Amino acid sequence: MNLDERAPRSVRINCGTLDMRETTEQVASRILHVNAGTVLVTPETRDFLSMFSNNMGTLIEVSKEVRLKTVMADEIMGRDAFSGEAEPFLILNMSNITLEPDVTAEGVDESWSEIINMGNILYPEHVAGPITNKLTSNMGGLVSYRASAQLINGDVVLDEVYLAALADGADLVITGNLKIPEPVPNDALDRKLNTVHVRGNVLCRAGNVRVLRSKYDPGAGTPQTTVVPDDHEVIERDLLLTAGSIRSWKGRKVYTAVNVTIHEDIDADALDRALDSLVCTGKVLCPEPLSEVFSGVCDTLNTDVFFYEGALWVVETDLTLRQSRLDLIDGTATLYNSGNVTIEEDVDAGVLYDRLAAVYNWGTITCFPDQMSAVEARTVVNEGTMHDAAEGAESDEEAQGEQGEHEEHEDGTLTINAGNYKL
């Protein structure tokens, strides 16, 4: 888009990275405001920043002749990424770069002129020299790994089959998470692994944790490790427990890292019979009448448990709450929102207050002022936002501007929204 033809101070720019290395004074005079995470300037264009208001995170001065490579998403680079380039790149990293073991020091030295790192770079130790030499700014993380290691991009589920396929004394570098969901023989674990470098988190059976921890690469730090009791079954999906689904359960021991919802049709005797132990690192929604029994099967002090009254309304996407829904329920309801709830204007605030037993909000609730007062009075947790619907027209216009790449406004101004933008 040619901004030269715009009126002075008529353009707003919202972007992640704004490249001003070739900006002219005339174009800069058309800018009203810039909201950017990172702004690139040259010594010649730096003064143009004083011509408009701005809200920016990082200012980087770079010559316009430099070839720039901006990394905004996770990128894995092997030897091929460091060959055939006529001119080296300045690397501006705002995400995660992983260099594979076949990358050479010469390749990095010849292909990268500078590194400005605001993300994370994982690289084999034999390229540490050029990485360090090329680094001109580091606001992120630099981590090396053994050149002899097997690099695995993503998660690893380590079971007996996986262990059997490994050569003895393997060095593993895992960019994702490591899971040992079922116990494996410790002698095989000790023989097969020399070191383990895990960039994500570790889930491990209690019987294997001592051996596994002894294999953590001392140069890489200790990953966050969750220990699962050997006698617990691991469930990796959200659990919805109803009277019917647990009818045949007897004394089960369950571990889960996701969410558990206990339906209000379960009585105390059924829950006590079905579960002997529940370990949950996600969230648990449990009827208030079952709180005493539940505390006997779950460590409620170290678990995110939310006891609810009446009907349970779980909102994970979008919901429009109408007066008719409130009229139809028998008793009260607990609202658990991680999505977007819109309360219609005709919903009576008094009825809303009477029908809602509690509100847990991690999402967005849009309602009118009197309704908001009722919702706030019933709110137990609010880690989301509550939006005044009376301001809806103005906010809708702002939202449309955020979604569109270019948004013309009635006052003659223009809003540009982009991930990266060259001015």
Pairing status of strand 385-388 against strand 53-61: unpaired
Q: Which of 257, 141, 149 is nearest to 202 (CA)?
A: 257
CA dihedral 106, 110, 116, 119 (to 10 degrees): -50
In sequence order, the 6+-apart residues with CB closer than 8 A to the CB of 40 are 17, 18, 19, 20, 21, 60, 61, 62, 68, 92
pLDDT value of position 392: 59
* pLDDT of 399 above 60: no
* pLDDT of 185 above 50: yes
Amino acid symbol at 153: N
pLDDT band for position 154 (50/70/90)?
Answer: very high
pLDDT value of position 393: 43
- Using alpha carbons only, give the angle 213, 216, 220 rounded to the nearest 5 degrees: 140
Residues 103-138: tens digit of each pLDDT? 999 999 999 999 999 899 999 999 999 999 999 889
Residues 214-247: tens digit of each pLDDT? 999 988 889 999 999 999 999 989 999 999 999 9
**Counting beta carbons within 10 angstroms of the beta carbon of residue 297, is it exposed (0 to 12), middle (13 to 18) or buried (19 or more)?**
buried
pLDDT value of position 323: 93
pLDDT band for position 400 (50/70/90)?
Answer: very low
Q: How many CB atoms lie within 10 A of CB 27?
A: 19
Query: What ranges do the domains of the chain cover?
Result: 67-145, 150-228, 233-308, 311-383
pLDDT band for position 83 (50/70/90)?
Answer: confident
What order of strands is seen across the sheet that includes strand 275-280? 233-235, 252-256, 275-280
Q: What is the mean pLDDT of residues 347-351?
A: 94
Residues 287-334: tens digit of each pLDDT? 999 999 999 999 999 999 999 999 999 999 999 999 999 999 989 999
* pLDDT of 56 above 80: yes
Phi, psi (deg, nearest 5) at residue 135: -75, 115
Amino acid symbol at 348: D
Evaluate if pTM is beyond 0.85.
no
Q: Which residue has the tokens 């001065």?
A: 61
Count helices and strands (H / E) in the chain. 12, 35
pLDDT value of position 241: 96
Q: What is the mean pLDDT of the chain?
A: 91
| Distance separating alpha carbons of residues 169 and 163, to the nearest angstrom | 11
Q: How many CB atoms lie within 10 A of CB 262?
A: 24
Residues 12-35: tens digit of each pLDDT? 999 988 989 889 999 999 999 999
In sequence order, the 6+-apart residues with CB closer than 8 A to the CB of 384 are 337, 338, 361, 362, 363, 364, 365
Q: How many CB atoms lie within 10 A of CB 124?
A: 22
Residues 31-50: tens digit of each pLDDT? 999 999 889 999 999 999 99
- Using alpha carbons only, give the angle 199, 204, 207 rounded to the nearest 5 degrees: 145
At residue 5, the 3 state secondary structure works out as: helix
Task: Provide the token pair at 232.
Answer: 């617990």
In sequence order, the 6+-apart residues with CB closer than 8 A to the CB of 67 are 87, 88, 89, 90, 113
Task: Provide the token pair at 331.
Answer: 């008793």
Amino acid symbol at 169: G
Q: What is the mean pLDDT of residues 152-181?
A: 95
* pLDDT of 77 above 50: yes
Residues 187-199: tens digit of each pLDDT? 999 999 999 999 9
